[in-house]
């Protein structure tokens, strides 16, 4: 698809192809975590995400000497020396019967953090990955701007929010919004607003993400901020 090729190029696709992973400092807060019985704080944590397969890790996690390990078939909390604190390889069972307010433990949070940050730090490049089907929808009117919209259908082998997700791009082809359903939290509809781009090693990276409940008018409900993400100190290697 020509539009997708242009989007990838605009975000630095040629430069990105030379790297294997991205690291970033991340602060994550928002109303979803108290609903899940989890505390939030402004601590900056270090996120590492693979660019070519589904792997992610964040540290510290739960203790100064702990980190997470997330992949398509496993989630774990580990000591920095590799000792396992908690682990699951039956990922669907972790969220069986979960609604928006079902309480989470450390493995639930590690799973959500792993797949969500993998998706965000790989967007919009994830749209060109094998097995992802993409087609263009009608344009979206945002104030005085017209945003182009790509709908993605993700394969069952890719752990993500929901199989169907929409990505909105402005006239500069910057990713400005991302819509999905959070299947592991009752399937509530979300609209994530994206901005504050920086250029890192030839790649354009948004550093501000705010995910709201999406209302019946398909717009974010600004009083219902579910997840707030601020990204800093990004590096590719």
For the chain, the average pLDDT equals 95
Question: Mind listing the pLDDT tens digit for each residue in 149-168?
Answer: 999 999 988 999 999 999 99
Assess whether pLDDT exceeds 90 at residue 68: yes
Q: Encode pLDDT of 169-180 as tens digits.
A: 999 999 999 999
Q: How far apart are CA 233 and CA 237, in angstroms?
A: 13
> Per DSSP, which regions of the chain are E strands?
21-29, 45-50, 55-59, 66-71, 74-79, 84-88, 133-136, 140-142, 145-153, 164-169, 175-182, 188-200, 203-214, 220-236
How many CA atoms are closer than 13 Å to the CA of 153, on its beta-carbon side?
5
Tens of pLDDT along 179-205?
A: 999 999 999 999 999 999 999 999 999
Q: Is the pLDDT of residue 55 over 90?
A: yes
Phi, psi of 9 (to 5 degrees): -65, -45
Mean pLDDT value of segment 64-83? 95
- Which whole number is the average pLDDT over 76-85? 95
Confidence at residue 225, expressed as pLDDT on a 0 to 100 scale: 98
User: Taking 80 as the threshold, does the pLDDT of residue 211 lie above it?
Assistant: yes
For residue 175, the tally of other CB atoms under 10 A from its CB is: 24
Fold entry, domain 2-236: outer membrane lipoprotein receptor (LolB), chain A (2.50.20)
Domain ranges of the chain: 2-236
pLDDT at 198: 97
pLDDT given for residue 15 in this prediction: 81
| Residue percentage of the chain with pLDDT more than 70 | 100
């Amino acid at each position: 698809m020509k539009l997708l090729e242009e989007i990838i190029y605009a975000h630095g696709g040629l430069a990105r192809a030379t790297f294997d992973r991205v690291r970033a400092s991340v602060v994550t807060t928002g109303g979803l975590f108290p609903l899940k019985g989890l505390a939030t704080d402004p601590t900056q944590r270090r996120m590492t995400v693979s660019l070519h397969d589904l792997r992610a890790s964040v540290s510290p996690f739960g203790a100064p000497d702990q980190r997470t390990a997330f992949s398509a078939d496993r989630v774990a909390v580990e000591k920095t020396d590799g000792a396992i604190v908690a682990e699951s390889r039956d990922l669907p069972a972790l969220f069986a019967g979960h609604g928006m307010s079902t309480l989470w433990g450390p493995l639930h949070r590690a799973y959500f953090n792993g797949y969500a940050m993998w998706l965000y730090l790989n967007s919009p490049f994830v749209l060109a990955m094998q097995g992802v089907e993409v087609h263009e929808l009608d344009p979206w009117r945002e104030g005085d701007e017209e945003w182009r919209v790509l709908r993605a259908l993700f394969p069952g082998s890719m752990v993500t929010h929901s199989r169907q997700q929409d990505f909105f791009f402005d006239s500069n082809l910057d990713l400005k919004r991302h819509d999905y359903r959070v299947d592991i939290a009752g399937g509530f509809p979300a609209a994530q607003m994206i901005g504050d781009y920086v250029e890192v090693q030839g790649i354009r990276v948004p550093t501000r993400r705010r995910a709201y409940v999406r209302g019946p008018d398909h717009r974010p409900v600004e009083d219902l901020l579910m997840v707030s993400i601020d990204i800093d100190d990004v590096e590719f290697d």
